[in-house]
A and B are shown apart, each in its own frame.
Chain A
Amino acid sequence: DAKTTQPTSMDCAEGRAANLPCNHSTISGNEYVYWYRQIHSQGPQYIIHGLKNNETNEMASLIITEDRKSSTLILPHATLRDTAVYYCIVRGHGSSNTGKLIFGQGTTLQVKP
């Protein structure tokens, strides 16, 4: 599984968009980009995943560059409850793959009033 690089921490003003970057320059053609977040002492929460097209759901948008070497998670209107550690993970997909998640240190996002 490819490794990812994320900034250690970021701040965002409440109500503004939070843009969290992730580098995954060694990603393979069949590997997906997953984003999870973890609020203190809770289980990680699935946010979104994608292969090469941009994806959007009720929580966030995922923008993947054309060469797939980096991506950005966008929380369009951050609230205080979005304060968490955000993990970008690259992994294989499908039933022939265990799909184990390899968590790095993630980005600690602090949303400020």
Chain B
Amino acid sequence: ETGVTQSPTHLIKTRGQQVTLRCSSQSGHNTVSWYQQALGQGPQFIFQYYREEENGRGNFPPRFSGLQFPNYSSELNVNALELDDSALYLCASSLSSGMAQFFGPGTRLTVL
């Protein structure tokens, strides 16, 4: 157990809807990174939040957005859901930006 928790575990949405995923970082960690993992692929970096500021972004469109709160928990928001957004969404926390990342169990999103 890494101490990183994510909610919900699973959810099902329809195309065009919006979704918010949540992540609680490990105690003492100020950095959260989000990844998307499609079936059969390795995780792909979406973005990272360090001390409440976005600190790097992967090749994802603006409809993927995030937030980090003063307690360093984080949200991932996806607007205008598409079928290809169906994936396992992973968050990882680290002691600081650039340090070892520890992953949560993920949220399985299905878009119909």
Instruction: Give me the interface of A with B, judged by CB distance under 8 Å.
Output: 34, 36, 41-46, 49, 87, 92-106
Contact = CB atoms under 8 A, between A and B. Distances in A.
B58 to A, nearest CB: 7
B103 A95 contact: no
Nearest to B88: A41
B101 to A, nearest CB: 6
A101 B94 contact: no
Main secondary structure of the interface of B (DSSP, over half): strand
B68 interface: no
A103 B94 contact: no
Interface string B32-71: 0101000000111100101000011010000000000000
Given A100-B56, A100-B58, A46 B43 contact: no
A43 B96 CA distance: 20
Main secondary structure of the interface of A (DSSP, over half): loop
A101 B99 CA distance: 11
A70 to B, nearest CB: 20
Contact of A96 (B35, B48, B92, B98): B98
Contacts of A93: 98-99
Nearest to B54: A98
Given A100-B58, A103-B44, A104-B42, A43 B98 contact: no
Nearest to B102: A46
B42 A97 contact: no
A41 to B, nearest CB: 7
Given A103-B42, A104-B42, A105-B42, A98 B55 contact: yes
Given A87-B42, A103-B42, A103-B44, A98 B98 contact: yes
Contacts of A49: 100
Contact of B90 (A43, A87, A99, A104): A43
Given A96-B98, A98-B56, A42 B42 contact: no
B109 to A, nearest CB: 13
